[in-house]
């Protein structure tokens, strides 16, 4: 009898966590993507450029640093799946979607920190992993930082990039 | 203090270069935040506690860099860069550096 209870606990808890990750984590991800897409359309006229000059001839009236960052982690289900992937090799799709989300979120936060800018030039993206104090529990936790120079052009109406 | 990460401050001439200025801070996570993050790890997504922690440390590093620039007599820092590196488990260093200049 006690053996059954033991088995139930050792197998049941990971399975519960995997299911929780699959359904709760999955729905959170879909909700996050929806919000990212909404906010991206709002900032469509204010592009983030990785070049040091904007491609218009307008002169810049004001320049200021804009920073946005986000720390994200994968859910239990995806971590479980990636374990299999590690055996066979190949792309770990669940991790790519996580980093895609994180980068887009970081860029959006950078834009939201200076919402009146016409463009964000010299945008840089930096990714760093965060280790946990308790061993390898922090696997799959990354920070994405986006920063750039928010610029405001002279004669905004004429030169705003659309 | 004007901060940019391009080679100049647009529309203003650089009068004087003061060279590199930097500011850094090393932060450790505290237990409560780590525990909450451990729970959040089950469903994935953003770990807000860590986001805030790193934002605070980045602001701290930036303000240290600005203090250094001000001591030199600069009124702007151009070509600002940020880097993050983990020095020990559970602790990371945030560094901000740039070139201090005097502009019009």
Domain residue spans of chain B = 2-103
Å between A58 CA and nearest CA of chain B: 11
Give me the pLDDT at residue A138, please: 47
Find which of A27, A65, A94, A98 to mutate to test the B interface (most B CBs within 10 Å of its CB).
A65
Asked if pLDDT for residue B34 goes beyond 80, the answer is no
Give me the pLDDT at residue B30, please: 67
Helix ranges restricted to H, chain A: 2-20, 26-42, 76-88, 93-113, 156-159
Query: How many Å apart are CA A98 and CA B42, to the nearest integer?
Result: 14
List the structure tokens of A29.
Answer: 């991800």
- Nearest CA to B78 out of B9, B14, B15 is that of B9
Q: Please report, in angstroms and rounded to a whole number, the separation of the first and last CA atoms in chain A.
A: 70
Find the CATH number of the domain harbouring A137.
3.30.110.70
Residues of chain A with C-beta less than 8 angstroms from the C-beta of B40: 73
Residues of chain A with C-beta less than 8 angstroms from the C-beta of B51: 69-71, 143
Give me the pLDDT at residue A136, please: 52
- pTM of the model as a whole: 0.84
Which of the pair, A38 or A53, is modelled with greater confidence?
A: A38
Asked if pLDDT for residue A44 goes beyond 70, the answer is yes
- A13 interface with B at CB cutoff 8 Å: no
Domain total of chain A: 1
ipTM over 0.95: no
- C-alpha dist (Å) from residue A69 to A18, A30, A148, B57: 28, 20, 12, 12
CA B5 to chain centre: 12
Q: What is the CATH number of domain B2-103?
A: 3.30.110.70
Average pLDDT over residues B2-29: 89
* Kind plus residue range of the DSSP H or E element containing B34: helix B31-43
Give me the pLDDT at residue A107, please: 95
Give me the pLDDT at residue B7, please: 87
Report the chain A residue with the minimal C-alpha distance to residue B4: A65
Å between B92 CA and nearest CA of chain A: 8
Q: Please report, in angstroms and rounded to a whole number, the separation of the first and last CA atoms in chain B.
A: 12
Å between A44 CA and nearest CA of chain B: 22
Report the chain A residue with the minimal C-alpha distance to residue B9: A63
Domain that holds residue A67: 2-159
Give me the pLDDT at residue A58, please: 73
Query: How many Å apart are CA A15 and CA A12, to the nearest integer?
Result: 5
How many C-beta atoms lie closer than 10 Å to residue A59's C-beta? Answer: 12
Least CB–CB distance from A28: residue in B6, B34, B43: B43
List the structure tokens of A124.
Answer: 């840089």
């Amino acid at each position: 009898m006690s053996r059954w209870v033991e088995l139930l606990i050792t197998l049941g808890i990971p399975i519960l966590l995997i299911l929780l990750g699959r359904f709760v984590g999955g729905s959170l991800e879909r909700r996050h993507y929806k919000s990212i897409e909404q906010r991206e359309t709002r900032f469509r006229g204010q592009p983030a450029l990785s070049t040091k000059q904007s491609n218009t001839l307008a002169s810049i009236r004001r320049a200021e640093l804009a920073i946005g960052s986000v720390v994200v982690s994968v859910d239990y289900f995806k971590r479980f799946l990636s374990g299999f992937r590690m055996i066979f090799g190949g792309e770990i799709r669940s991790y790519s979607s996580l980093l895609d989300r994180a980068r887009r979120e970081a860029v959006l936060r950078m834009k939201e920190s200076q919402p009146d800018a016409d463009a964000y030039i010299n945008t840089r993206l930096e990714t760093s992993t965060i280790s946990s104090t308790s061993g390898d529990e922090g696997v799959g936790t990354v920070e994405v930082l986006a920063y750039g120079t928010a610029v405001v052009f002279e004669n905004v109406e004429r030169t705003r990039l659309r | 203090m004007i901060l940019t990460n391009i080679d100049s401050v647009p529309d203003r001439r650089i009068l004087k270069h003061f060279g590199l200025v930097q500011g850094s801070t090393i932060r450790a996570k505290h237990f409560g935040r780590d525990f909450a993050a451990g729970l959040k790890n089950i469903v994935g997504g953003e770990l807000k506690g860590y986001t805030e922690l790193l934002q605070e440390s980045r602001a701290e590093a930036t303000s240290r860099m600005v203090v250094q620039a001000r001591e030199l007599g600069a009124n702007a820092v151009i070509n600002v860069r940020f880097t993050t590196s983990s020095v020990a488990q559970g602790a990371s260093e945030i560094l901000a550096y740039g070139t201090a200049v005097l502009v019009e």
